[in-house]
Structure 1
Amino acid sequence: MKLFLIIFSLILSSSALADKITILHINDHHSHLEPNKRLDLNLDGEKTRVVSGGFPSVVAKFKELKLKNENVIKLHAGDAITGTLYYTLFKGKADAEMMNQICFDAFAIGNHEFDDGDKSLVEFLDYLHTDKCKTPVLSANIKAKINSPLSKKIKPYTIINKGNQKIGVIGIVISKKTRESSNPDDTTLFLDEINSAQENINKLKQQGINKIILLTHYGYKNEINMAKLLTDVDVIVGGDSHSLTGDFDNVGLNSNGAYPTVVKNKNEEDVCIVTAWEYSQIVGELNIEFNNDGTIKSCDGIPHIMLDDSFKRKDSNGKRVEIDGNYREAVYKAIEVNPNISIVEADAQASKILEKYKNEVKEKSSEVIGRVTDDLCLERIPGQGKSKLCDVSKTEKNGSDISNIVAHAFREMSKLSDIAIQNGGGTRIDIKEGNITIGDAYTLLPFSNTIVELKMSGEEIKNVLEDSIDYALTPDGSTGAYPYAAGLRWDVQASNSKGNRVINLEFKGRTDKSWVKINPSKTYTVATNNYIAAGKDGYKTFGIISKQGRVVNTYLGYAQSFVDYVKKIKTLSKLPLSEYSTQSFTK
């Protein structure tokens, strides 16, 4: 009798666990394998410089949380690659080796996985499957041609068994942005996100699976809207928008919403939505309990920011130093009572792997190429607040310091161009006052682009600017499309309709002393990167001109061209305000 009761108790316990899962997740790590040493948090009431994240700490946190929880599912919501020298130099190999230390149960393709085309993506996925970890790669709305190697690498969904329950996980990527702002093959199709999700939800339901997770690279706001339009979805684990969710007000970070965010689907049933910020700094922990019919009974969780044991504040001389004594103890106590923040010891094996790649990066990237006299702020749309170095008040009128300089570098290095245009999203970091190295240049411009030259009329140039600004302001477009230029300047009335936003458009040639109104019928030579020249990122007029054959590829690597430019002029400083392409931006 006692044996029967024990067995019955174990069955009940197993059944109870089967109704619960824990999802551990990250997204948008973008080859940021090392910790971020520039994050400021408000700890014990004072601004404190911390060291956050890094992939070895992500690995350690996954291991810690997996031991703590039952029925764990490990997910990555896309954009694993591009963004640092670890991708520029190793093309996904370093990222894949680090990801395999976690061995995700599913990985959703993100738009930036296509930045170097289908062939490069296939190579990354091969790296991801080189050892015993064979992470399923998901996207229900990507359709590669049948004879493409990519078609064999991606599937619409996977089914995960946990206890006696089957859980369906469906991948979705943002369609328009991937098609127009990345570099997939022309034969690779991107289908509607909502229709593709519902179609595959229905397929899983037909197989008797009623617990369904969407693993989406679609953007936080889009994912909230998606949930409301679908039936039978339970959980959305998202990425793309780099959104911080959770309660971080007390440490001085601005959150975009609750963790989890709960909305109703088309059946009026709860959907739990989560996302985990950016750059290997947060591991999301979402706990789900299901009803017997597979609907959500409850969901809660914690977005974990991982910190090293390093806490600095400015001394009386303005230099950041490690705090000690009572100040440090107070910081430890503040962290101890905050469930969202923890000090994490990096995983030893992952650290060893990273060190191997780090040494090679150092060898290639530490060479100083010039001097920077001012902090050069990064921005996309003026006043957007992308800079991690500068207050938004410094970019709200004229936009990015560094993107304007990059445009001037491209015009200078392309030799024959009158004008250069660069998309704001193509430049990736602020540049601090001090020495600038090869590594800084390649982190600033991490993509494998070349400079091309297009023959264009003044009217077509105006159309390019209208195209890109419209795409930057469109909700399902990309803010990275916002244009910066050398040899052009303008004012923007953002509230106007497309075609009427760019006003007071003026031109100034390389040797000209003054600005003049651009001549709509005159032909100019415009330098840009080959990516937007192909019509990507909303630059439709560029794409038309390229198809007409009015384009020449200089085959100058755009990051290397910037290196050569800095070496040539030796010193980088902010441009005079009269040379900024956006003279004013009115919302």
Structure 2
Amino acid sequence: MKTFSKLLLAGLVSAALMGCNDDNDKAINVTLLHINDHHSHISSDDFDYDVSSLGLSATTEAGDPVTEVAVNYGGFAMMKTLFDDLAAAAENPIKIHAGDAITGTLYYTLFAGEADADVMNDICFDAFALGNHEFDDGDAGLATFLDYLAEGSCQTPVLAANVVPHEDSAIADGYIQPYTVLQFEGEKVGLIGIDIADKTKNSSQPDDGTEFLDEIETAQSYIDELKLDGVNKIILVTHYQYANDLSMAQALAGVDVIVGGDSHTLLGSDALADVGFNVQGDYPTITTNADGEPVCVVQAWEYAHLMGQLQVSFDKKGVVESCAGTPVMPIEQSFSYEYNEDDSAVLDAADEALVVAALEAVPEMRMVVANENTAAMIAAFDEQKESLEQSVIGQVAEDLCLERFPGQGRSTICDASETYAMGSDISNIVAKAFLMVTPTADIAIQNGGGVRVDVAAGDYTIADAYTLLPFSNTLVTLDMTGQQIITVLEDALSNTLDDAGSSGSYPYASGLRYDVDASAAEGSRISNVEVNSRVAGDWAAIDTSATYTVVTNDFIASGRDGYDTFGVVYDAGDFVDTYTEYAQGFVSYVEMLTEANESLMALPTDEYSTQRYIGSDGCDHSSQSDCAGY
């Protein structure tokens, strides 16, 4: 009798794990509406659209035909409309956010997650999976954001199956759960959250005692648990990167759909790529799990620019019969163009209709009217933001001079003699700031042209930081050999000296110093290169065969401004985008100094990246005071 009972129990467990159903189970359809990685980008953005082939009647002030218009797209006001409209028309809709909701813009810097939580609650997601950047301000910072999220009526489940907070963690008491189970037509659908483990531990700032378990082992464990509970339709909501999601799908038994994030992967049609967007795969991408059954993998790019829309049909055993869909990019039906250097104009109705027709021919693009209530909510935060931008975050102890090449004389508040020998004060400081706020980096490199103004002694505000670093660049890390680092410095110099490029390519650095001879032949201008990783030890000659992690801005990381060797590494995929705007990184550095009762001031001379400079005329700025130029 005991043997029979054991066999019966084993059979029941096996049947549950295999997704065996009773006669009441049935096939159902669900619609997944999802975003990921909005990174505190709650307002709309714009992109330039080539209209040269549309025959518009509009002309510039000079009478030239308009060849390009600005298209306003994305943002939570349009996303709210889109989610509401598509959910109302969908069969069994599930609204999902796959992580990295916070950090990246002033909306987080100033409001600590409140603005993000409010727009998320406005949409009312059915599940939110934690991403690595949720831990950028430690467990306590995450708790603050999740408290704001919990203030809404949605009570969105926060999923993180492989995150184990330590006993005293601010998120230990009921903030997160491994999964949630939804019911449609009497059928259960399980959603399991998975965060990327190593990246979160090494690139963000979780508490020391908080653990991040293996993604695949944890996912399988909870899939099995849900199967035992009679749930045979399993969706993983992952912040684990597109390529990892595909590998994980094949390694797991019982998984049906993966809604992912972290890699900011744009999936879509060739038509979307033809407009100029970097489409990296099919939406959905279909693979098979360890059982040989279909798995549908999707992701929805970044910054609330696009919403994924996936229809999934399950049979009564919980196996995917089909999945299909098209991501949707919400677009405002109003288009501006550059009328002259100072003014823009809006297309008239006839030209607008031509642009709308062309854009709507792209399957992913849809004209959307922004939700008025959401727009008003964002406008209220914008009003506060304008005031808070003037908040003093630190003190500047002395005037900090701007320069590109040493001796160029670009500064408006400093005498040329002050930057004559070693170049810019503030550009060296910016490089150090990026190094200090990027814990995985050994050294930092910043192009001189990316730093825009002198910094005068006195109070320093958030607005000052965004004036200093006004571009929408993010901080990126690249793993490079010592020889590649030397070569990239040579690239930067060559861009100006050999290729007549911008003088803004001149390289500044932190944790890295060198001598420059602008009069030498191409490829031989950099010498005496030394490294002091994180400026935490002693200076030593760079090891050309060793690998170092370099933090820089994504503009030059991709090979722009003459930084060709960066571009080679970047194109090979050997980089990590932190998705932290570089101005926000500088704000964080100034706040770090303030917390330590320190002011922003010129670095010690041994930390300046240019230790000796010989101009293109052969004049040594270190020993001669009458060099004519750079």
**Deviation (angstroms), 1:319:** 6.5
1:42–1:250 CA contact under 8 A, matched in 2? no
- 2:233 corresponds to: 211
User: Matched residues in 1 for 2:162 and 2:187: separation?
Assistant: 26
1:306 to 330, 335, 344: 330
After superposition, the C-alpha distances for 1:292-321 in whole angstroms (9 at most, x for unaligned) are 211111111111111122323445769654
User: Matched residues in 1 for 2:147 and 2:534: separation?
Assistant: 46
2:284 to 231, 235, 260: 260
**Cα distance, 1:444–1:161 mapped onto 2, change above 3 Å:** farther
After superposition, the C-alpha distances for 1:272-291 in whole angstroms (9 at most, x for unaligned) are 11111111111111111111
1:322 to 346, 353, 362: 346
Q: Is 1:333–2:339 an aligned residue pair?
A: no
**Deviation (angstroms), 1:57:** 1.2
User: Matched residues in 1 for 2:534 and 2:349: separation?
Assistant: 68
1:48–1:313 CA contact under 8 A, matched in 2? yes
1:517 to 528, 544, 551: 528
Output aligned runs, 1:35-54, within 5 Å.
Answer: 35-37=44-46, 39-42=47-50, 47-54=68-75
1:33 to 34, 42, 50: 42
1:42–1:252 CA contact under 8 A, matched in 2? no
**Cα distance, 1:286–1:522 mapped onto 2, change above 3 Å:** closer
User: Matched residues in 2 for 1:72 and 1:131: separation?
Assistant: 20
- 1:481 corresponds to: 477
Q: Is 1:62–2:83 an aligned residue pair?
A: yes
After superposition, the C-alpha distances for 1:432-481 in whole angstroms (9 at most, x for unaligned) are 899999447369999xxxxxxxxxxxxxxxxxxxxxxxxxxxxxxx9933
Output aligned runs, 1:137-176, within 5 Å.
Answer: 137-151=158-172, 152-176=174-198
Letter in 2 for 1:162: F
**Deviation (angstroms), 1:565:** 10
**Deviation (angstroms), 1:254:** 1.9
**Deviation (angstroms), 1:205:** 0.7
- 2:107 corresponds to: 86
Output aligned runs, 1:235-254, within 5 Å.
Answer: 235-247=257-269, 248-254=272-278
Letter in 2 for 1:341: M
**Deviation (angstroms), 1:519:** 6.5
1:276–1:284 CA contact under 8 A, matched in 2? yes
Q: Is 1:134–2:155 an aligned residue pair?
A: yes
User: Matched residues in 2 for 1:434 and 1:520: separation?
Assistant: 27
**Deviation (angstroms), 1:55:** 1.1
**Cα distance, 1:144–1:516 mapped onto 2, change above 3 Å:** same
- 1:491 corresponds to: 487
User: Matched residues in 2 for 1:538 and 1:180: separation?
Assistant: 13
143-152 or 313-322, which deviates more: 313-322
1:289–1:296 CA contact under 8 A, matched in 2? yes
- 2:581 corresponds to: none
**Deviation (angstroms), 1:268:** 1.3
Output aligned runs, 1:437-452, within 5 Å.
Answer: 438-439=462-463, 441=465
2:40–2:105 CA contact under 8 A, matched in 1? yes
Output aligned runs, 1:383-532, within 5 Å.
Answer: 407-409=428-430, 438-439=462-463, 441=465, 480-482=476-478, 490-491=486-487, 507-508=513-514, 517-518=528-529
Q: Is 1:285–2:293 an aligned residue pair?
A: no
User: Matched residues in 2 for 1:340 and 1:33: separation?
Assistant: 20
User: Matched residues in 2 for 1:558 and 1:88: separation?
Assistant: 12
**Cα distance, 1:16–1:284 mapped onto 2, change above 3 Å:** farther
User: Matched residues in 1 for 2:329 and 2:90: separation?
Assistant: 18
327-336 or 137-146, which deviates more: 327-336
**Cα distance, 1:366–1:434 mapped onto 2, change above 3 Å:** farther
Q: In angstroms, what is the RMSD of aligned CA positions?
A: 4.7
- 1:453 corresponds to: none
Q: Is 1:179–2:201 an aligned residue pair?
A: yes
**Deviation (angstroms), 1:41:** 3.4
Letter in 1 for 2:148: Y
1:364 to 381, 388, 397: 388
1:445–1:558 CA contact under 8 A, matched in 2? no
User: Matched residues in 2 for 1:252 and 1:332: separation?
Assistant: 17
**Cα distance, 1:312–1:300 mapped onto 2, change above 3 Å:** same
- 1:395 corresponds to: none
> How many pairs were matched up?
452
Unaligned 5+ segments in structure 1 are 1-14, 376-402, 415-419, 447-477, 494-504, 528-536, 540-554, 570-574, 580-587
**Deviation (angstroms), 1:200:** 0.7
2:513–2:531 CA contact under 8 A, matched in 1? no
**Cα distance, 1:538–1:265 mapped onto 2, change above 3 Å:** farther
Letter in 2 for 1:156: P
Q: Secondary structure at the match of 2:246?
A: helix
User: Matched residues in 2 for 1:178 and 1:522: separation?
Assistant: 22
After superposition, the C-alpha distances for 1:473-503 in whole angstroms (9 at most, x for unaligned) are xxxxx9933389xxx973379xxxxxxxxxx
1:158–1:169 CA contact under 8 A, matched in 2? yes
1:36–1:53 CA contact under 8 A, matched in 2? yes
User: Matched residues in 2 for 1:20 and 1:412: separation?
Assistant: 50
**Cα distance, 1:157–1:291 mapped onto 2, change above 3 Å:** same
After superposition, the C-alpha distances for 1:369-426 in whole angstroms (9 at most, x for unaligned) are 9999999xxxxxxxxxxxxxxxxxxxxxxxxxxx997543365999xxxxx96658x9
- 2:589 corresponds to: 558
User: Matched residues in 2 for 1:492 and 1:70: separation?
Assistant: 53
**Deviation (angstroms), 1:164:** 1.6
TM-score, scaled relative to structure 2: 0.62
Letter in 1 for 2:131: G
User: Matched residues in 2 for 1:78 and 1:358: separation?
Assistant: 24
**Cα distance, 1:407–1:218 mapped onto 2, change above 3 Å:** farther
Runs of 4+ off more than 4 Å: 15-18, 42-47, 314-320, 366-375, 403-407, 410-414, 420-424, 429-437, 442-446, 518-527, 559-569
**Deviation (angstroms), 1:185:** 0.4
User: Matched residues in 2 for 1:187 and 1:445: separation?
Assistant: 36
- Structure whose CA Rg is larger: 2
- 1:346 corresponds to: 370
2:249 to 207, 227, 249: 227
Q: Secondary structure at the match of 1:61?
A: helix
Letter in 2 for 1:491: T
Q: Secondary structure at the match of 1:311?
A: strand
Output aligned runs, 1:184-199, within 5 Å.
Answer: 184-199=206-221
User: Matched residues in 2 for 1:140 and 1:314: separation?
Assistant: 50
TM-score, scaled relative to structure 1: 0.67
User: Matched residues in 2 for 1:515 and 1:95: separation?
Assistant: 46
Q: Is 1:21–2:30 an aligned residue pair?
A: yes
**Cα distance, 1:431–1:268 mapped onto 2, change above 3 Å:** farther
After superposition, the C-alpha distances for 1:333-377 in whole angstroms (9 at most, x for unaligned) are 1233333111211112211211111101112337999999999xx
1:406–1:562 CA contact under 8 A, matched in 2? no
User: Matched residues in 1 for 2:166 and 2:33: separation?
Assistant: 33
User: Matched residues in 2 for 1:568 and 1:96: separation?
Assistant: 39
Quote the sequence identity (%): 39
Unaligned 5+ segments in structure 2 are 1-23, 55-66, 405-423, 436-440, 490-510, 517-524, 539-547, 551-585, 604-608, 614-630
